[in-house]
Amino acid sequence: MQSTTLAKTKKEGRSLNDAFASHFAKSMFLTIVGLVILTFIGTRMFTHIDLNLYGYMVGTLVFIGGFFYRFIAWGERPPTKIIIKKGLKLLVRKNTPRTAVNHLAIYDFIRNRGIYRWTQHILIGWGCLLACAVTFPLVFSWMYFTMEDNGYYTIVLFGMNIMLVKANGIIAWMSYNALNIAAIMVTTGVCMALHRRLKNMQARAEQKFMYDFLPLYLLLFISVTGLLLTVQNVLLHGWMQPQMSLIHQFSVIVTLIYLPFGKLAHIPFRPMSVFARNYREHYGEQEMKKCKVCGDHFVSVEQSNDVINVLGVNHMEFNMEDGFNLAELCLPCRRKYRIARFSGFPTHQVKVKEANQNAKG
């Protein structure tokens, strides 16, 4: 018996997890190794690196590393583990494509708040995605262009010739000006957002400069300096372009390094909303939980049980003297129950609905 235990201990001591201080450290190490491998492949063994884009490459690597650091730290939390684990299983639902389009493409959930806010999010979101789709492949040399003698460009992707396009054709023009189009979209969206946040009294009361306004100013600065590079090249024959190029590159690098740790991180985190939506819809269709006080259905039974289990994992027990867990009450009854604990009057048993706290006026 003792020999079996020793053999099992030795076997566990040789596992991959024992080489790292924690699962989080192992995940970060594997992420960094993956980034190096992708860079190695993209630059064809580091032989095809555009030194003009070297700063962007370093900034992008720091951004991706920082993003995965924040994502893995967030993913190690017990509630997040449940959403990720069950969300992956529910990706095969027939409603997943529609949910993904609504949340990731057309932002339908924002359109319910107003056309103005929906338009600004569409412009900023798709402008940033277009800029990333063009910049990242160029930075890592996954894609580049070669000029032929007959006035044609060859689009090269991972070392393979993909397409031959006319130098003055529509595809070439779109390639040249993709970043300009993205900059115009982002500039317009950011200006709309700044106007709303500066003029709307409720928005102004809720905004903080460093967290809410600074990311918008960074995006605006990047877009304006990028457009100025085109203006200098086309209209000013390259006057002061090297200096503006350094200013633009510096602003992009700073923003990329800052992005995973600020408010803009919600952009790459958006796909997780599909997991959360599938989770609520799937288990809501199975069985809904009744509030222990008013009897209203407020969440699925699965979600209620998961909340109670997660609280137990974190050594947080909310089992009340009345014979129920606080997580088994709907939000209005939960608030009234907390008041009852302080006042001594059973306000949670009073059959009066709360006024709508989000009502306008």
Task: Specify the CATH number for the domain of residue 180.
Answer: 1.20.950
What integer pLDDT is reported at residue 360 of this predicted model? 45
Q: Last residue of a domain, which of 273, 305, 325?
A: 273
Closest CA to 71 of 265, 300, 358, 306: 265
In a domain, 329, yes or no: yes
- 190-194: long-range contacts, CB 8 A cutoff, minimum separation 24: 190/120, 190/124, 190/216, 190/219, 190/220, 190/223, 191/220, 192/116, 192/119, 192/120, 192/123, 193/120, 193/124, 194/220
Question: Which residues make Cβ contacts (< 8 Å) with residue 74, sequence separation at least 6?
Answer: 80
The verdict on 267 and 295 lying in the same domain is no
292, 221: one domain: no
> Is-contact 329 323, C-beta < 8 A?
no
**C-alpha to C-alpha distance for 307 and 313, rounded to whole angstroms:** 10
**Residue 294 per-residue DSSP state:** T
CA 236 to CA 232: how far, in whole Å?
5
The pLDDT, as a whole number, for residue 231 is 92
pLDDT of residue 189: 95
Domains identified in the chain, total number: 2
Domain check: are 109 and 193 in the same one? yes
Query: Are 100 and 214 contained in the same domain?
Result: yes
Cα dihedral 280/284/286/288 (nearest 10): 140
Claim to verify: residue 93 and residue 59 sit in the same structural domain: yes
User: Is-contact 167 151, C-beta < 8 A?
Assistant: yes
One digit per residue, the tens of pLDDT, for the chain of length 361 reads: 545 554 554 555 567 777 877 777 787 788 878 878 877 877 777 777 777 788 888 888 888 888 888 888 888 888 888 988 998 889 888 889 999 998 889 888 888 888 999 999 999 999 999 998 888 888 887 887 887 777 788 888 877 788 888 888 888 888 888 999 999 999 999 999 999 888 877 777 778 888 888 999 999 999 999 999 999 988 888 888 889 999 999 999 999 989 888 888 888 888 888 998 999 999 999 999 998 888 889 889 998 899 888 888 777 778 877 778 888 888 888 888 877 777 776 666 666 655 544 444 3
**At which of 228, 249, 273 does a domain end?**
273
Task: Specify whether 205 is located in the same domain as 83.
Answer: yes
Alpha helices in the chain (DSSP H): 2-13, 23-42, 54-75, 78-89, 96-100, 108-111, 115-139, 170-199, 201-206, 214-234, 241-258, 266-269, 272-286, 301-313, 331-343
Q: Which residue has the tokens 């060859």?
A: 154
Residue 214 lies inside a defined structural domain of this protein: yes
Q: Are 146 and 153 in contact (CB under 8 A)?
A: yes
- β-strand partners of 299: 289
Would 8 be classed as within a structural domain?
no
Residue 354 backbone zone (phi > 0: left; psi -120 to 50: alpha; other: beta): beta
Same domain, 34 and 135: yes
Domain final residue pick, 245, 273, 301: 273
Read off the pTM: 0.78
Same domain as 255, residue 291: no
What values do phi and psi take at 193, rounded to 5? -65, -45
Question: Could you tell me if residue 69 is inside a domain?
Answer: yes
CA distances from 279 to 88, 89, 101, 266, 300 (A): 10, 10, 17, 19, 10
Judgement on whether residues 112 and 195 belong to the same structural domain of the protein: yes
Per the CB < 8 A criterion, the answer to whether 347 and 327 are in contact is no
What residue type is 360 in one-letter code? K
> Is the residue at 244 inside a domain?
yes
Do residues 27 and 148 both lie within one domain?
yes
Structure tokens at 331: 């939000």
Positive or negative, the CA dihedral 304, 305, 311, 314 is negative
Q: How far apart are CA 135 and CA 182, in angstroms?
A: 11
pLDDT, residue 345, reads 67
Domain-embedded: residue 90 = yes
Mean pLDDT of the residues in the chain: 83
In a domain, 43, yes or no: yes
Residues 43, 159: one domain? yes
Which phi and psi (to 5°) does residue 106 adopt?
A: -105, -5
> Do the domain assignments include residue 108?
yes
For the sheet with 160-166, list strands across it.
143-147, 152-157, 160-166
User: How open is the CA angle 132-135-141, to the nearest 5 degrees?
Assistant: 130
Residues 292, 264 share a domain: no
CA distance 17 to 19: 5
The pLDDT value given to residue 354: 55
Closest CA to 141 of 66, 60, 62: 60
Q: How many CB atoms neighbour CB 196 within 10 A? A: 15
pLDDT at 341: 73
Domain that holds residue 155: 22-273
